[in-house]
A = this chain, B = another copy of it.
Amino acid sequence: MIALPKNIEFVEVGPRDGFQNIKEFIPTQTKLAVIEKMIAAGVRTMEVTSFVHPKAIPQMVDAAEVAKAIVANYQDHGLKAMALVPNLTGAKKAYECGIKEVTYVISASEKHNMANINRTREQSLADLQGITAEMPDLKIRIGVATSFGCPFLGKVDYDLVLSLIEAVVGYGVDSIILCDTIGIANPKQVSELVTAVKEKFKNIRLGLHLHDTRGMGLANTLAGLEAGVTIFETSVGGLGGCPFAPGAAGNTASEDMINMLHAMDIATGVDLDQYLEAVKIVREQIQPVLTGHMAYACKYGNV
**Bitwise interface map of A from 1 to 17 toward B, beta carbon under 8 Å scored 1, else 0:** 11010000000000000
Known A296-B247, A303-B154; judge A2-B223 contact (CB<8 A).
yes
Q: What sequence of 0s and 1s flags, for each residue 131-163 of chain A, a beta carbon within 8 Å of any chain B beta carbon? A: 000000000000000000111001100000000
Q: Tell me which residues across on chain B come within 8 A of A57, comparing CB atoms.
A: none
Residue of B nearest to A194 (CB): B1
Q: Chain A, 149-183, contact with B by CB distance < 8 Å: what is the 0/1 string?
A: 11100110000000000000000000000000011
Q: Please tell me if A235 contacts chain B, counting CB pairs below 8 Å.
A: no
Contact assessment for B2 and A293 in the assembled complex, using a CB-CB cutoff below 8 Å: no
Which of A2, A213, A252 is packed against the most chain B CB atoms within 10 Å? A2
**Which chain B positions have C-beta within 8 A of A263?**
186, 188-189
Q: Is A66 an interface residue (CB 8 A)?
A: no
For A243, list chain B residues within 8 Å (CB).
296
Encode A245-269 as 1/0 by CB contact (under 8 A) with B: 1111100110010011001110000
- Residues on the B chain within 8 Å of A188, using CB: 2, 4, 263-265
Q: Is the CB of A293 within 8 A of B186?
A: no
The answer to whether A259 touches B214 (Cβ under 8 A) is: yes
A42 within 8 Å of B (CB atoms): no
Question: In the complex, how many angstroms separate the beta carbon of A79 from the nearest chain B beta carbon?
Answer: 27
A interface: dominant SS = loop
Judge if A215 is at the interface, Cβ distance under 8 Å: yes
Residues on B with beta carbons closer than 8 Å to the beta carbon of A295: 247
Q: Is A98 an interface residue (CB 8 A)?
A: no
Chain B: minimal CB distance from A261 (Å): 9
A27, chain B: closest CB distance, angstroms: 24
A221 within 8 A of B: yes
Q: Confirm or deny: A240 has a beta carbon within 8 angstroms of a beta carbon on chain B.
A: no
For A296, the chain B residues whose CB sits under 8 A away are: 243-248
Contacts of A260 in B (CB 8 A): 186-187, 214-216, 219
A149 / chain B contacts, CB cutoff of 8 Å? 303
A203 to B154 CA separation, bound complex (whole angstroms): 42
Please name the residue on chain B nearest to A299 by beta carbon.
Answer: B214
> A4 — which chain B residues lie within 8 A by C-beta?
188
Given contacts A1-B192, A212-B215, 13 further A-B contacts (CB under 8 A): A1-B191, A184-B300, A187-B264, A189-B263, A212-B293, A215-B217, A215-B256, A219-B219, A219-B222, A247-B247, A247-B290, A248-B293, A249-B293
Q: List 20 A-B contacts (CB under 8 A).
A: A1-B195, A2-B188, A2-B223, A151-B303, A184-B300, A184-B303, A186-B260, A186-B300, A188-B263, A212-B215, A212-B293, A214-B256, A214-B293, A215-B218, A218-B218, A218-B219, A219-B221, A219-B222, A246-B289, A249-B293
